[in-house]
C-alpha cells in the first residue's frame, strides 16, 4: 500500500491534526517524490505550488508526520536530515553517501537475534531499530582526488 497525500491527510484528521492548504501542499510534495528530501528541498518545492508557504509550516508538518511514523527520517552527517513518505509494508534501512548525501535503501536486515539478546541483557522491551551506514557512493569515489 502506497501512502498518498490524501491517505496521509485522512490519517492526520483521524489523529486530530489540522489540515491546512499549506500542510496539504507539503503532503503532495512528499507523496510525489520517491527520494529522501531535505526540509529545504521540501520547502522550495512546496513554494512552487504555494509561494506563501513558510519554512515553519514545513518543519511543523515534518514533525507531525515523524511523530505519527508516516515518514522515514534519515540522519545525515552534520545533523542534516532528510525525509520520505514511509512505505508501510517495507522495513528498511539506509546507506548514506558522506560526499553528496545520496541515500540508498536496503531491506535485508537480520537483526532479530541481536534484538532478542539485547532485550534480555538490558531488560528493555525493544520495539524497533534504525540502521544507517555511511560512506562514499561510486560517483563520489570516482570524482574525489586520491
pLDDT of 122: 94
Q: Are residues 74 and 126 in the same domain?
A: no
CATH assignment of the domain containing 112: 3.30.1490.190
Q: Which of 1-15, 57-71, 114-128 has the lowest mean pLDDT?
A: 1-15
Q: Are residues 80 and 8 in the same domain?
A: yes
Q: What are phi and psi of 82, to 5 degrees?
A: -135, 160
pLDDT of 105: 76
**Mind listing the pLDDT tens digit for each residue in 82-126?**
787 766 456 677 788 888 877 787 777 778 788 889 999 999 998
Q: Are residues 3 and 57 in the same domain?
A: yes
Q: Which are the contacts of 30, defined by CB distance < 8 A and separation ≥ 6? A: 5, 8, 37, 42, 65, 71, 83, 84, 85
pLDDT of 95: 83
pTM for the whole structure: 0.66
Amino acid at each position: 500500500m502506497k501512502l498518498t497525500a490524501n491517505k496521509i491527510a485522512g490519517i492526520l484528521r483521524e489523529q486530530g491534526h489540522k489540515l491546512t492548504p499549506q500542510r496539504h501542499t507539503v503532503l503532495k510534495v512528499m507523496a510525489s517524490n520517491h527520494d529522501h528530501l531535505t526540509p529545504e528541498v521540501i520547502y522550495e518545492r512546496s513554494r512552487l505550488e504555494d509561494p506563501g508557504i513558510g519554512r515553519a509550516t514545513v518543519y511543523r508538518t515534518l514533525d507531525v508526520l515523524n511523530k505519527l511514523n508516516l515518514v522515514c527520517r534519515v540522519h545525515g552527517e552534520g545533523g542534516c536530515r532528510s525525509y520520505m513518505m514511509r512505505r508501510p509494508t517495507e522495513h528498511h534501512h539506509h546507506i548514506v553517501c558522506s560526499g553528496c548525501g545520496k541515500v540508498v535503501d536496503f531491506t535485508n536486515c537480520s537483526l532479530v537475534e541481536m534484538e532478542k539478546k539485547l532485550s534480555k541483557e538490558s531488560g528493555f522491551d525493544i520495539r524497533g531499530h534504525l540502521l544507517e551506514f555511511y560512506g562514499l557512493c561510486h560517483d563520489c569515489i570516482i570524482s574525489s582526488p586520491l
